[in-house]
Structure 1
């Protein structure tokens, strides 16, 4: 099993590309078909699957074309373990990051 916590950024990108490729193949689509459905070039699909390289927007378009957009809903969702953590998370939604002081 792939360990996202121990992986480097290029390794994570590569793994995501491989997973999207597996989903595409499961649906019986070629890279060209997926590219057409996503409104992208086949080179973009090829780069994502082979090297894990694509813009965030292209990545989302491919995910949506594969019918996986719902899976993005849980990405980065705050996980709350206690009432105190829940209150802190709620405050974080309403606060801005502290201003940086110029040096």
Structure 2
């Protein structure tokens, strides 16, 4: 796929739809047959192939019906961390993002208020 970073969302969807269309035709399936196999409506499949907006679940269902779901793992690759980070996080997985903390100013030590 030759989708550039500068391509608009509409262009990306249009190219994905074209690729789905070509794959469906390669399997010699009608829109009705593929829609039925994927569990989506024929109109939803028409929208996907035309590059129109639809739900992500519908796209995934069509990919599964075409035997292309294995390619989803390459969309967002596993994150790689440094060996030091792996040792620190051994047994732990990040669950949320955190902001960079700025160091606190040193505080004065606590003393009794004996000045009465």
Aligned to 1:38: 38
More helix by share: 1
The secondary structure found in structure 1 opposite 2:5 is: coil
Give 1:84-103 correspondences, 5 Å limit: 84=82, 87=85, 93-98=93-98
Displaced runs of 4+ in structure 1, greater than 3 A? Answer: 85-88
Q: What is the match of residue 7 of structure 1? A: 7
How big is the alpha-carbon RMSD for the aligned residues of Structure 1 and Structure 2?
2.5
User: Conserved in 2, the CA contact under 8 Å of 1:16 and 1:52?
Assistant: no
**Unmatched runs of 5 consecutive residues or more in structure 1:** none
Q: 1:5 deviation in Å?
A: 1.3
- Normalization by structure 2: what TM-score? 0.70
Give the corresponding residue for 1:16: 16
Structure 2 CA distance for aligned equivalents of residues 95 and 68 of structure 1: 29
Superposed CA deviations along residues 20-43 of structure 1, whole A, max 9, x for unmatched, are 111000000011110000011100
Counterpart CA distance in 1 for 2:38 and 2:24 is: 12
